[in-house]
Amino acid sequence: MNMNHAHVKYKKPIGYFKANKLSLVIISLLLMMGAGSYYQLFKEKKTSLGFEAKAASNSLISLPEDDAPHLLKMEWWYYNGHLLTASGKKYSFHDSLFLVNSGMSHMVNHVSLTDQQSGKHYIDQRSTAGNLSVGTVNRFDFTTNNWSVAGGNGIDQLIASTPEFSFKLNLTSTQPPVFHGQDGVISLGAAGSSYYYSRTRMTISGTLQINGQTEAVTGLAWFDHQWGDFSTTQLSWDWFSLQLDDQSDVMIYQLRDKANQPIFYTGSYTKDGITDILSSKDFTLTKGQQWHSTKTDTNYPIAWKIVIPSKKLDLTTHSIINDSEFDASLTSYNIYWEGAIKVTGSHTGLGFMELSGYSNTKN
């Protein structure tokens, strides 16, 4: 691709944020608050991926500059993906790096791997003081002790080493980035607002070691990056990323209040490099079958029906492995469900689902 210059963009600080006084020790990482600073107002850079610069020129987000860490209260870099080994075995993974700026910076890394042959779901997590990516420009680099979340401009690398498995994955974006909400900003209701973009299709190549064997892997990943001075203490959510076989990509985000009632819907539909933003009137989301975790006495809806009439989508999603619960009590003090899903109905495909807040409601 040719080098291109993204347009200079003015960014308004996101407003309507409310300070939260709860201790970091008793709330989840996603609920943590802290002192932040205003985001940089002017940005200008160049990129080696032409479609990245073209897409960013119409957004409040500028890439690759906004791949790098910001000085706001909450931020995360998130990946999920589906892996196929050289011998034909299937795995799925997620890898999230959370950065909280609360007077002092604090990082948490969550990683999971699901063996779709055996049904085993492995998790690991780390918590580290500081910000390992201080000073990086146009990229991020959180690397320590055989763990790494690093990259920029749609060319990233993930490294994880745990007692049960390890992987080294190289990811390359193949589609223009998707800017959610209004020009890359989504409302979180009373909690505030968040900058939010995705790279919905990243090819994967690398190696996976599990059960004493190392194999080459290929696959497809989804990347999310969110940041802002927001609070989610009043919220929980249901989130879906769908990569359909017709090469369309769908994101659905349903926020719920303390009474576990939906209060805000948003989403996106992307095909052929064109994204349509979805609001509550554009789709319906209905719970189906539930799975009960005996570890935490929590019920999770692991089947859903998603209907987007304008796109002629009538989809059913179902977990590939029901037991995909992530107990993050050691690091971010929360429990959630995070795992691969299959898509059937009017269209087929694969995806990922994150369910947050159910451990408090038992619904």
pLDDT digits (tens, 9 = 90+) for 167-226: 999 999 999 999 999 999 998 877 778 999 999 999 999 999 999 999 999 999 999 999
Taking 50 as the threshold, does the pLDDT of residue 279 lie above it? yes
The DSSP secondary structure of 327-351, one letter per residue, reads: E-TTTTS-EEEEEEEEEEESS-EEE
pLDDT in the model for residue 157 = 98
Average pLDDT, the chain: 85
Q: How confident is the model at residue 71 (pLDDT cuts 50, 70, 90)?
A: confident
Task: Please give the structure tokens belonging to residue 74.
Answer: 């909450």
Domain span at residue 257? 4-17+30-361
Among the listed residues 319, 320, 323, the one whose alpha carbon sits nearest the alpha carbon of residue 293: 323
Distance CA 77, CA 73 (A): 14
At 338, which CATH number? 2.40.370.10
Taking 60 as the threshold, does the pLDDT of residue 299 lie above it? yes
In total, how many domains does the chain have?
A: 1
Q: Is residue 22 part of a domain?
A: no
Q: Is residue 146 part of a domain?
A: yes
pLDDT digits (tens, 9 = 90+) for 82-125: 999 999 999 999 999 999 988 888 999 999 999 999 999 999 99
Q: Is residue 123 part of a domain?
A: yes
Query: How many angstroms from the chain centroid is the CA of residue 342?
Result: 18
Task: Please give the structure tokens belonging to residue 358.
Answer: 């159910």
Among the listed residues 281, 218, 278, 279, the one whose alpha carbon sits nearest the alpha carbon of residue 248: 278
Q: Is residue 24 part of a domain?
A: no
Distance CA 188, CA 201 (A): 25
Distance CA 203, CA 69 (A): 23
Q: Is residue 175 part of a domain?
A: yes
Buried b (16+ CB within 10 A) or exposed e, 270-291: beeeebebbeeebbebeeeeeb
Cis peptide before 64 (omega within 30 of 0): yes
Q: Fill in the amino acid letter for 289.
A: Q
Q: Is residue 199 part of a domain?
A: yes
Distance CA 1, CA 165 (A): 36
Q: Is residue 25 part of a domain?
A: no
Q: Is residue 88 part of a domain?
A: yes
Rounded mean pLDDT of 282-307? Answer: 97
pLDDT digits (tens, 9 = 90+) for 39-56: 332 233 334 455 565 555
